[in-house]
Each structure stands twice: as structure tokens, then as C-alpha cells.
């Protein structure tokens, strides 16, 4: 009699078996053979929905959220020549001390399968960098695993699969946050920079292993250098990227010296026209506003702004963006381009500020901003415009019922 294997099971039976397994065991089952992997990958509930990665000077925090609502958190901490490793699922947690294992290699071995074999669009990828350490406490006995120096990079990847069913509750207190105050030296090097550079090199290499660019609906990323993002772009399906948020990490020397980073190269990317929402923090762009009008929402800093640019946005709000001539043009765009729900930018200087305010008409004064409201022709909508004390100019569409009481709505 021939032995019956999982591959011989009808789909209905296979589905019932998989529903009885926890996500970690399903991930292990994927590695048995190509046929099982291909079958499991057709089931969206077993794929990853969101990946969140936090990069610290001596740590990497990774959170995986699956479509099945399961969530796994992994922390990799450099501990001398070893790696202190924390795996958790809710309140259950397990610690490992991996002897002779470099924390970045452990991270790479765990995440490579999650990224390489993701066959459905990833709803969201967050990559966040911070110079603040959140070090794991060491007032417990971790499970020590001896790893030979010549072991392969992926020899330890079973860790993410084995912790389910083997959890232990840690009696350690909540992880302390160890952060030093800003010192007085504005030129002190950023402690995150070496780890961040190594992380982005590693993560780009993992993306490169895929047979096609990864599809992501929302990408939120913190960078130190433009190359951190640009090097990985060829392996991301930019054409289908719904939301792109990029922030430059403002470490102390960047703040004190007011170092500005310009990122006009974004508009040259293959797939720029497919990006529907763009938010840039501390990354300046000098492009004409028209280059953003295919998007539904925009925020970015720019060097200076004129009344022409503001009025240009106003008149076309429901169409195109430019400075007094450019602002006028942008004003027009916001009125005539229905798909744009908001268009915000932060300026360094405004030419003829008094002329800007007098041209825009009657405003409503808030605590931190001045607000103007304009009827959008042939609709029941209103265009809101605000300029605040932080030099942020905001255009937004709203229904007439959303307009605050007592304000003047201009034509």
C-alpha cells in the first residue's frame, strides 16, 4: 500500500489541516517542498499583511502582521559577539542568546523568507530609524544556543518557527529606554548611521533576491542619506505604490546646522506618475507644483513661496502647482481638480507676505494659523486654505457642512 502524504490530500482536507496549525508551523511547512509552498501561498490568510522595522544603533525590532490577524514581534540586539534575541506573540515571550552570531545576520536570516516569498501585495512596510536605544533587560536566563562561527547565515532561521508552543513568560520588568540627553556638541556623529547603512544594504540585498519587484500599497521610511531609499527603488513596484512617506532623520547636527536635503530625483523615478499620496518630512523639493497634480494628497517642504504660487493652487484645486504668479496658479488648480483631497507644503521664506494676506481676502484667525474659505464653482464643496506659524500652507477640500460657523466663504 502506498503511503499517503499531505500532497495527496484533497484541497478541502488540506484547508482543514492548515486551519488547525498556528502560523509559525505553517511557515515551517512552506519549507518542506515547492508544492506545499505554492499551495500555502495561494491562501491569503497565511501571507504577511504588514512589516514594521525599527532600526536602533544596536538593535533591530521587527513586527510581522499576517492576514490571519496573527502578530509576531522579533527583537535582535547586539550583545558583544553574540545576539540577544526576543520573540513574542502578545503577552507570551521567549528569549534566546545566540552565541557567536551577529545580530544583523540573524535578522537577515529571519526576514529573507518573509520578503522573498511574499506573493501578494504588502499592505504596508514601515522602516523607522532612531538613535535612541531601547535595550532589552538581562535580568533573566535566556535559552543559550551555541552557534559555530562558520554556520550558514540562515541556519538559525528556525527561531521564528519554533517559538510557538514553547513560550515562557519573562519575569523581567518592562524594557527600559536608555537614552542620553542631547549633548552640547552639534557636530557629534549620529550613532545610528553605521547600523542604518548596514541595514539598508542588507534589506536591499534581500529585495534583490525576489524574482520581481515587491508590491507595496503603503511605504513609510526614515532615511539618513538619499541612497538609503534610491538603492532599493529598483526592487519596489513604484507604479502601484499608493502612499509614499519619506522622512529624513533629524539628528542634532542636522538640526543645529539647518542642513537641507533636496530630493527632486524622486520625480525621475520610473513609476512616479503612479504614486497617489506623497509626504516628505525634512526633504525639500524645488519642482513646479504641476509635477504633483496626479496625486490625491501631497506634503513637502520647499525653499520659498510666492503669492502667484498660492493663488495658482487655489484656482485649480479641483488642477496644477507653481510662487505671487505661482501661488495664483496653484490656487486655481485646487479649485478645478476634484481628485486632489489635500495639497500641503512648508516654505522657508514667503515673498511679500503682507501682499499674500491682502490678496487672499478675509481670513479667520486661529491660535496658530490664518484660514480662508472659498466656494468651489458648480459644487457644494469649499476649498479651505490655511497658513500657520510653522510656515505650512495647507489646501483641503471639504463639504459646505464642514465649514466652521460664522466664517466668511468667498467666491
Query: What are the angstrom distances between the C-alpha of 385 and each of 305, 310, 395?
Result: 15, 9, 5
pLDDT of residue 232: 95
Contacts within 8 Å (CB) and 24+ apart, 21-30:
22/70, 22/164, 22/165, 23/66, 23/68, 23/70, 23/72, 23/164, 24/72, 24/160, 24/161, 24/162, 24/163, 24/164, 25/161, 25/164, 27/113, 27/160, 27/161, 28/158, 28/161, 30/113, 30/117
Cα–Cα distance, 83 to 98 (Å, whole number) = 5
Q: Among 59-68, 133-142, 357-366, which stretch is predicted with the lowest mean pLDDT? A: 133-142
Flag whether pLDDT at 65 surpasses 80. Answer: yes
Digit-coded pLDDT (tens) for 243-266:
999 998 765 444 444 567 889 999
What pLDDT does residue 4 have? Answer: 62
pLDDT attached to residue 145: 58
Which stretch, 91-95, 143-147, 193-197, has highest mean pLDDT? Answer: 193-197
In this prediction, residue 89 carries a pLDDT of: 79
Tell whether the model's pLDDT for residue 132 goes beyond 90. no
Cβ contact 306:329 at 8 Å: no
Say what the pLDDT of residue 104 is: 94
For the question of whether the overall pTM of this predicted structure is more than 0.85, the answer is: no
pLDDT above 90 as % of the chain? 25
Lowest mean pLDDT segment, chosen from 120-129, 165-174, 296-305, 354-363: 165-174
- Which residue in this structure is represented by grid cell 557636530? 187
Read off the pLDDT of residues 383-407 as tens digits, 9 standing for 90 and up: 898 999 888 888 888 898 899 888 8
User: In 10 A of CB 241, how many CB atoms?
Assistant: 22
| Residues above pLDDT 70, as percent of the chain | 65
Task: With CA atoms as reference, report the closest residue to 297 among 253, 349, 343.
Answer: 343
Query: For residue 65, what are the β-bridge partners?
Result: 50, 71
The mean per-residue pLDDT over the stretch 176-200 comes to 59
Quick one: how far is CA 256 from the chain centroid?
26
Helix axes 193-208, 103-116, angle to 10 degrees: 30
Q: What is the mean pLDDT of residues 235-240?
A: 93
Number of Cβ atoms within 10 Å of the Cβ of 380: 9
According to the model, what pLDDT value does residue 123 have?
A: 94
What is the 8-class DSSP label of residue 379?
Answer: S
Q: Please, which residues have CB within 8 angstroms of residue 334's CB and are 6 or more apart in sequence?
A: 313, 314, 315, 316, 317, 318, 319, 340, 343, 383, 385, 395, 397
Pure H helices in 32-119: 34-41, 103-116
Among 374, 360, 375, 264, which residue's Cα sits nearest to residue 309?
360
Question: Which residue matches cell numbers 512616479?
Answer: 272
Q: pLDDT higher for 375 or 51?
A: 51
Q: Which residue has the cell 529571519?
A: 110
- pLDDT 10s digits, 207-223: 999 999 999 999 999 99
The pLDDT confidence band at residue 163, using thresholds 50, 70 and 90, is very low
DSSP state letters, 151-185 = S-TTTTTTHHHHSTT--B---PPSPP-B-PPP-S-
Which of 137 and 159 is assigned the larger pLDDT? Answer: 137
pLDDT at 46: 63
Average pLDDT, the chain: 76
The cell numbers describing 174, all together, are 518592562
Report pLDDT for 47. 75
Residue 30's pLDDT band (cuts 50, 70, 90): low
Q: Which residue has the cell 519554533?
A: 162
Cell of 73: 514581534
Question: Does position 165 have pLDDT exceeding 60, yes or no?
Answer: no
Q: What SS3 state is found at 106?
A: helix
The better pLDDT of the pair 159, 294 is held by: 294
- Residue 235 has a pLDDT of 96
CA pair distance 75, 376, nearest whole angstrom: 51
Predicted confidence (pLDDT) at residue 150 exceeds the cutoff of 60: no
The gap from C-alpha 182 to its chain's centroid, in whole angstroms, comes to 26
Sorting pLDDT into bands at 50, 70 and 90, what band is 411?
confident
Name the more confident of 249 and 146.
Answer: 249
Residue 180 pLDDT grade (very low, low, confident, very high; cuts 50, 70, 90)? very low
CB contact burial 303-335 (16+ within 10 A = b; e otherwise): eebbbbbbbbbbbbbbbbbbbbebbbbbbbbbb
380 dihedral zone (left: phi>0; alpha: psi -120 to 50; beta): alpha
Amino acid at each position: 500500500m502506498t503511503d499517503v502524504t499531505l500532497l495527496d490530500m484533497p484541497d478541502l482536507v488540506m484547508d482543514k489541516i492548515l486551519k488547525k496549525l498556528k502560523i509559525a508551523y505553517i511557515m515551517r511547512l512552506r519549507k518542506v517542498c515547492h508544492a506545499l509552498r505554492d499551495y500555502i501561498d495561494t491562501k491569503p490568510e497565511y501571507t504577511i499583511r504588514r512589516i514594521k522595522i525599527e532600526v536602533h544603533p544596536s538593535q533591530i525590532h521587527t513586527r510581522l502582521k499576517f492576514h490571519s490577524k496573527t502578530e509576531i514581534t522579533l527583537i535582535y540586539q547586539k550583545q558583544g559577539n553574540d545576539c540577544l534575541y526576543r520573540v513574542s506573540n502578545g503577552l507570551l515571550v521567549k528569549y534566546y542568546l545566540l552565541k557567536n552570531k551577529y545580530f544583523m545576520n540573524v535578522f537577515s536570516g529571519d526576514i529573507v523568507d518573509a520578503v522573498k516569498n511574499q506573493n501578494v501585495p504588502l499592505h504596508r512596510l514601515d522602516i523607522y530609524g532612531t538613535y535612541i536605544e531601547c535595550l532589552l533587560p538581562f535580568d533573566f536566563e535566556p535559552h543559550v544556543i551555541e552557534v559555530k562561527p562558520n554556520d550558514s547565515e540562515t541556519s538559525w532561521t528556525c527561531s521564528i518557527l519554533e517559538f510557538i508552543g514553547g513560550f515562557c513568560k519573562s519575569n523581567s520588568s518592562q524594557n527600559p529606554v536608555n537614552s542620553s540627553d542631547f549633548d552640547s556638541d552639534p557636530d557629534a556623529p549620529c550613532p545610528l548611521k553605521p547600523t542604518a547603512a548596514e541595514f539598508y544594504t542588507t534589506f536591499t540585498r534581500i529585495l534583490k533576491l525576489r524574482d520581481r519587484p515587491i508590491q507595496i500599497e503603503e511605504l513609510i521610511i526614515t532615511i539618513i542619506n538619499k541612497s538609503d531609499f534610491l538603492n532599493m527603488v529598483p526592487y519596489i513596484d513604484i507604479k502601484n505604490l499608493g502612499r509614499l512617506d519619506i522622512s529624513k532623520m533629524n539628528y542634532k547636527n542636522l538640526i543645529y546646522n539647518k542642513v537641507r536635503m533636496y530630493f527632486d530625483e524622486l520625480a525621475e523615478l520610473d513609476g512616479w506618475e503612479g504614486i497617489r499620496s506623497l509626504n516628505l518630512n525634512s526633504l525639500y523639493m524645488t519642482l513646479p507644483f504641476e509635477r504633483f497634480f496626479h496625486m490625491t494628497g501631497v506634503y513637502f517642504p520647499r525653499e520659498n513661496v510666492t503669492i502667484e504660487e498660492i493663488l495658482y493652487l487655489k484656482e485649480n484645486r479641483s488642477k496644477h502647482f507653481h510662487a505671487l504668479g505661482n501661488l495664483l496658479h496653484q490656487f486655481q488648480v485646487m479649485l478645478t481638480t476634484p481628485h486632489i483631497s489635500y495639497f500641503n507644503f512648508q516654505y522657508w521664506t514667503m515673498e511679500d507676505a503682507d501682499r499674500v494676506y491682502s490678496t487672499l481676502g478675509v481670513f479667520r484667525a486661529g491660535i496658530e494659523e490664518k484660514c480662508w474659505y472659498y466656494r468651489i464653482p458648480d459644487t457644494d464643496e469649499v476649498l479651505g486654505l490655511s497658513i500657520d506659524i510653522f510656515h505650512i500652507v495647507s489646501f483641503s477640500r471639504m463639504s459646505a457642512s464642514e465649514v466652521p460657523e460664522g466664517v466668511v466663504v468667498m467666491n
